[in-house]
Structure 1
Amino acid sequence: MIDEYTLEQAKAKGVRAETLLDNELLTEAFGTLEQGYISAWRATTIDDVSAREKLFLAINIVGKVRDHLGAAIANGKLAQAELNELTRTAERRKRFGVL
């Protein structure tokens, strides 16, 4: 079982990640980067394999960063649910005199 401190950290990290993904400037930056990489990728010549591979990786990295933040949000929400359950369990034990 995970301790409350670790759950609180995961919850806080999730809140920060959600704030980032909700930030208009960051969302715009992700979109601009992705579109720029895609445009450059499409503009490569048929024999420029190295550039296409690098641009493909760059496009995927933008997605991976976005996915990482999404995972932090999901983990934070799970941590919050577990903290809520710990609180409910503690309240029930207190109410029924079980320590």
Structure 2
Amino acid sequence: MTDESPLQQTAARGSRAKALLDDELLAGAFDALEASYSSAWRQTLIDDVAGREKLFLAINIVGKVRDHLGAMVANGRLAQAELKELAQTAERRKRFGVL
């Protein structure tokens, strides 16, 4: 049988990640960072290869943070579904006298 504590933690973390992704302030911060990094990247001098690479990485990191939060949301939904299934299975066993 699956231990519910890690599932509950994953579900809770998924809910928190969803709240963060839905937060207008954080979404605005992500957008502002991407725009700022992109603008700075376009304005680099032709011989500033290191500067462009750092800005390129910064732009990608913002996307990776968003993707990570999205993965946490998805994992949280899966954990909630598994918790629901465990609860339904326990209820059926209880109802039919199977221990």
Provide the TM-score with structure 1 as the length reference: 0.96
Cα separation, partners in 2 of 1:2 and 1:48, compared to 1, 3 Å? farther
What is the CA deviation profile of residues 5-63 of structure 1, one whole-angstrom value per residue up to 9, with x for unaligned ones? Answer: 00000010001001101110000000000010001111112111000000000001101
Distance in 2 (CA, whole Å) between partners of 1:63 and 1:2 is 33
**Secondary structure in structure 2 of the residue aligned to 1:46:** coil
What letter matches 1:59 in structure 2?
A: I
1:59-74 correspondence to structure 2 within 5 Å: 59-74=59-74
Q: Which residue of 1 aligns with 2:19?
A: 19
Q: Where do 5+ consecutive residues of structure 2 fail to align?
A: none
Q: Which residue of 1 aligns with 2:90?
A: 90
**Secondary structure in structure 1 of the residue aligned to 2:82:** helix
Runs of 4+ in structure 1 over 4 Å off: none
- Percent of paired sites with the same residue: 72
Q: Which residue of 2 aligns with 1:42?
A: 42
Q: Where do 5+ consecutive residues of structure 1 fail to align?
A: none
Q: Which residue of 2 aligns with 1:76?
A: 76
Q: Which residue of 2 aligns with 1:30?
A: 30
Distance in 1 (CA, whole Å) between partners of 2:25 and 2:78 is 27
Provide the TM-score with structure 2 as the length reference: 0.96
Aligned-pair RMSD on alpha carbons? 0.9
